[in-house]
Amino acid sequence: MNCLGYRRELLAEGRESEPMRLHRLGCDACAELQREQAAFEGELRRALEVPVPEGLAERLSQGARSGAPRAARRRLLAAAAAAIAAVGAGVLLWRGRDDPMAMACIDFVMKDEAKSIMMGAMPREEARRMLADTLPLERIERLGQVKHIAPCPFGAGTAYHVILMVPQDKVTLLVMPDTPMDSTGRAAKHGMHAAVMPAGKGSVGVVGSTSAVVESVMGALRA
């Protein structure tokens, strides 16, 4: 268990497993996140203590039985096939790399990702318009399931923070319309790996738990 895994599991599940608890006991940053998350969840529960509309559970159940899961599975399988070819050669590129922008992407995940998720997501249609010239949302959605997308301050401009579930793992994307880039850079820190590359009129950063998953997502984005 590393900091990235702890933060994502805590935000996704809202509770700790035993490996998570053991990690938190030795990590001040994750202990602080757990305290903030517990306070936030308490406030959220108090704000949402309203009667549940009659028939809501039945409607949600009917939606879950629709054809959407099958379509999502097809997208995940297609993304996996596109990504496998990119992994082998890419892993060797991580040795000796320490790109400042890639490091900044890791720092964002460590320090600001939880805050971005807590602030809430932006409407998908607005995201579609804002990303169109850099990394169209349709391309991202072909790789897997978008769990969260929202604008956030990043460096001297604005990035669009995306949590994406791909076949191998969850990854963070930082789509940066205001930050053009000529080449690809990579970095590793705190058990996380990140890469940045040109995308449309700007650039995109990819942060994941292993270099292999980052390289596979980058390869799929290039395809």
Residue 45 counted as domain residue: no
The CATH number linked to 110 is 3.40.1000
- pLDDT band at residue 14 under the 50/70/90 scheme: low
If one counts the domains in the chain, the total is 1
In the chain, the N- to C-terminal Cα span, in Å, equals: 32
The answer to whether 171 and 150 are in contact (CB under 8 A) is no
Place of tokens 């399988």: 77
Position 67 pLDDT exceeds 80: no
Residue 202 counted as domain residue: yes
Residue 53 counted as domain residue: no
Residue 29 counted as domain residue: no
Distance CA 21, CA 15 (A): 10
Question: Is 0.85 topped by the overall pTM?
Answer: no
Give the three-state DSSP class for 175: strand
CA 80-210-195 angle, to 5 degrees, is 90
- pLDDT band at residue 92 under the 50/70/90 scheme: very low
Give the three-state DSSP class for 196: strand
By residue range, what is the domain housing residue 207? 67-222
Residue 156 counted as domain residue: yes
pLDDT tens digits for range 146-174: 999 999 999 888 999 999 999 888 999 99
Distance CA 179, CA 214 (A): 20
- pLDDT band at residue 89 under the 50/70/90 scheme: very low
Residue 122 counted as domain residue: yes
